[in-house]
Amino acid sequence: MSRTVPDMETGRGKGTGIGARSVAIAVTDGMLHFELGIAYEVFGSDLTHLVDPWYDVALCGPGPIRAGRFLLEPDSGLDRLPYADTVIVPGWADVDQAPSAELVDAVRAAHEAGARVASLCTGAFVLAAAGLLDGRRATTHWAHTDVLAARHPGVEVDPDVLYVDNGSDNGRVLTSAGKAASMDLCLHLVRLDHGSAIASTVARRLVVPPHRAGGQAQFVTAPVPAQDDHPLADLFPWAIERLDRPLTVEDLARRANMSSRHLGRHFRAVTGTTPLQWLLTQRIRRAQELLEATGDSVDAIAEAVGMGTATTLRRHFNRTIGVPPDAYRRTFRNSRSSAG
């Protein structure tokens, strides 16, 4: 499944001249196969026609291991991790279960030996257990950021970004949010190692956006709850159908037939945020959809989502998503052009 791994006695990056050529993907039972597949697709595919040598990749774990419904036979044990230039820790399926001490110790040893360590999705829980995130910014899947912060108070958890590259630490510890953000982080590593042109070529091959900045917000934030047995169940679709109007908290309270104060308590309980912040999130989400699917001007979209002016939309969009509306639209247009 893999090609070669640097010799354990000679150290990392043997004779390559590339600072991060050897990649070890740390695997144990309970890993998420999607994130594992992303890492192997990016680093394990034979792309020597782009860069020669490309990466040498090995699955390292106490095999055989089970990832979802797949049974995998690792190439090497976890004791190989300290000899890799880059160690990738895929998502951890059950965040309520502590990762194995063997895995945690191996990841810590790799970092102490000088390896660059990156986690994908809930793999951040492994890095946190190893103490690698103490005093650092980090992220993980938005559904688990509160758990990560509560379990590891020494970690500065940022729930609203795609990935975090601790650049002040030479990027030696990196974390990504969930699923698709794992691809963003892997491409970011390729960009660091081989430059933007090569990373964009890899992205085109995979038919994904060539670059999404790490500071860009995770795309699913404060969603409408799926359950329909709460006091605001009828209010949410009513408000979403009227996003082009200047809705106020009083408008929402009147529709819900409750006081503004009572409405605020229900909103906090159901969505974890305030009515106005929820409205803003829904307006931004609608703006994202229109930027992706239409050629409407930013002024027209601002009016359609109740922001009034392009200036107001740009200010809120940039603060929430991390990129201006025009840059967001270009990303998706470039992605579609690459797919064509």
pLDDT in tens, 76-97: 999 999 999 999 999 888 899 9
User: Mind listing the pLDDT tens digit for each residue in 138-177?
Assistant: 999 988 999 999 999 999 999 888 889 886 555 589 999 9
Task: Report pLDDT digits (tens) over 189-236.
Answer: 998 888 877 888 898 888 776 656 555 555 434 445 545 567 888 898
What is the per-residue burial (b if ≥16 Cβ within 10 Å, else e) of 140-155?
A: bbbebbebbbebbeeb
- pTM (2 d.p.): 0.64
